[in-house]
């Protein structure tokens, strides 16, 4: 049973196939209007969401299927009355595919042990794989390719989005530079870095972690940032984190160091004046709402590919 747990486990070919399928369903939505008729997606949420929830649910509707929003705070699992194993074994008797947005990545891995239907990681504290497939689709749409591009990420790097970029970008032949403060709580997980370095060496591309934002931005094709206050970060850390991350804010000046053709990405939600200025996110190089739209095309593609591979369609 193939799941999408992290992009570490997916090959370059599998990532490229998902992007190509997303492009196809985006171009020809009517062709897929009945593809998942009678199929049900269960969407398990432990954390808030705008994009992920709406794009999965709308995507499933557009494919002719049905999606159930399952909020763990109203579930036996969330109430501590039922185990992950029993929850999954029950759920898999009803539904054809599951996505989960959780705090602990270990809980997702525990779910995968029992899943007899495809399971998609819709964000854990550790990784956010579907997001990055949509990001790469967006870059390809705007810049025409992935291979050989320089992508620079700024800010919080002990972060799910950063980790997923680190797994995927080197595999796709991209030069990834992560610019973040020094310190284990701000830098990428060392195990992710070690794995990403292997992918970069195999692809023959550089992968760098630097502490100077300007160095990362210079000549970049893509500038990417993410929230400094991810869903799992307690509010009392805000002041200290703003002080730490401010040198990595994506400003017009920083964007000016990149190529004139560069695009700006943020997976959203975003706060103007925090991880980027309003001028950047609302400016002509920002493609953040194309990026948000592509989440839906990617979710449709993932459901089609995984259900086909599982022999359920």
**How far is 171 from 186, CA to CA, in rounded Å?**
23
**How far is 187 from 159, CA to CA, in rounded Å?**
8
Q: In terms of DSSP bridges, do strands 222-225 and 40-45 run parallel, antiparallel, or are they unpaired? A: unpaired
Binders of ligand CP among residues 262 to 291 (CB under 6 A) are 267-269
Binding of residue 297 to ligand CP (CB under 6 A): no
Beta-strand runs (E) in the chain? 40-45, 66-71, 97-101, 119-121, 150-154, 175-179, 207-210, 222-225, 263-266
Angle between helices 288-309 and 51-62 (to 10 degrees): 50
What residues pair up with 266 in beta bridges, in sequence order?
A: 225
Binding partner of residue 95 among ligand NVA, ligand CP, none, CB under 5 to 8 Å per kind? Answer: none
Among 231, 242, 253, 310, binds ligand NVA (CB under 6 A): 231
Instruction: Provide, rounded to whole angstroms, the least separation between the CB of residue 51 and ligand CP.
Output: 4
CA-CA-CA-CA torsion sign (142, 269, 58, 6) = positive
CA-CA-CA-CA torsion sign (290, 168, 148, 175) = positive
Instruction: Provide, rounded to whole angstroms, the least separation between the CB of residue 147 and ligand CP.
Output: 25
By beta-carbon proximity to ligand CP, the closer residue of 124 and 277 is 124
C-alpha Rg value of the chain to the nearest Å: 19
Binding of residue 50 to ligand CP (CB under 6 A): yes
Site size for ligand CP (CB under 6 A): 9
Binding of residue 267 to ligand NVA (CB under 6 A): yes
Task: Give yes or no for a contact between 294 and 26, defined as CB atoms under 8 angstroms apart.
Answer: yes
- Closest-CA residue to 30 (of 56, 55, 64): 64
By beta-carbon proximity to ligand CP, the closer residue of 52 and 162 is 52
Binders of ligand CP among residues 77 to 136 (CB under 6 A) are 123, 131
Any idea which residues carry the catalytic annotation?
101, 128, 131, 226, 267, 295
Q: Which two tokens stand for residue 151?
A: 């992508």
Among 72, 227, 276, 286, binds ligand NVA (CB under 6 A): 227
Among 6, 137, 160, 277, binds ligand NVA (CB under 6 A): 160
Binding of residue 51 to ligand CP (CB under 6 A): yes
By beta-carbon proximity to ligand NVA, the closer residue of 160 and 285 is 160
Q: Which two tokens stand for residue 306?
A: 């995984």
From the list 31-39, 45-53, 61-69, 296-304, the region that binds ligand CP by CB under 6 A is 45-53
Binding partner of residue 50 among ligand NVA, ligand CP, none, CB under 5 to 8 Å per kind? Answer: ligand CP
Instruction: Provide, rounded to whole angstroms, the least separation between the CB of residue 193 and ligand CP.
Output: 23
Length of the chain: 313
From the list 47-55, 148-156, 216-224, 281-289, the region that binds ligand CP by CB under 6 A is 47-55
**How far is 148 from 170, CA to CA, in rounded Å?**
10
Among 46, 189, 226, 291, binds ligand NVA (CB under 6 A): 226
By beta-carbon proximity to ligand CP, the closer residue of 200 and 229 is 229
Element spanning 132, H or E: helix 129-143
3-state secondary structure of 145: coil
The residues binding ligand CP (CB under 6 A) are: 49-52, 123, 131, 267-269
The residues binding ligand NVA (CB under 6 A) are: 123, 128, 159-161, 226-227, 230-231, 267
């Amino acid at each position: 049973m193939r799941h999408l747990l992290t992009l570490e486990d997916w090959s370059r070919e599998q990532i490229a196939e998902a992007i190509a399928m997303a492009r196809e369903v985006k171009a020809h939505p009517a062709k897929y209007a009945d593809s998942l008729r009678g199929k049900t997606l269960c969407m398990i949420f432990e954390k808030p969401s705008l994009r992920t929830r709406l794009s999965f649910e709308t995507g499933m509707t557009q494919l002719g299927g049905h999606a159930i929003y399952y909020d763990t705070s109203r579930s036996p699992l969330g109430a501590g009355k039922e185990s992950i194993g029993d929850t999954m074994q029950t759920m898999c008797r009803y539904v054809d595919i599951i996505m989960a947005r959780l705090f602990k990545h270990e809980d997702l891995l525990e779910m995968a042990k029992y899943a007899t239907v495809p399971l998609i990681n819709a964000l854990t504290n550790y990784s956010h794989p579907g997001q990055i497939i949509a990001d790469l689709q967006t870059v390809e749409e705007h810049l025409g390719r992935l291979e050989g591009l320089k992508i620079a990420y700024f800010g919080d790097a002990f972060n799910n989005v950063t980790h997923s970029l680190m797994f995927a970008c080197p595999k796709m032949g991209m030069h990834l530079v992560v610019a973040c403060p020094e310190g284990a709580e701000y830098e990428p997980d060392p195990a992710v870095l070690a794995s990403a370095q292997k992918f970069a060496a195999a692809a023959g591309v550089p992968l760098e972690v630097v502490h100077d934002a300007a160095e990362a931005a210079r000549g970049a094709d893509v500038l990417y940032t993410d929230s400094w206050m991810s869903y799992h970060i307690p509010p009392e850390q805000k002041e200290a984190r703003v002080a730490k991350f401010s040198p990595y804010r994506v400003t017009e000046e920083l964007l000016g160091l990149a190529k004139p053709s560069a695009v700006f990405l943020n997976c959203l939600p975003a706060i103007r004046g925090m991880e980027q200025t309003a001028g950047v996110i609302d400016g002509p190089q920002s493609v953040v709402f194309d990026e948000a739209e592509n989440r839906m095309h990617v979710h449709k593609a993932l459901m089609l590919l995984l259900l086909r591979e599982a022999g359920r369609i």
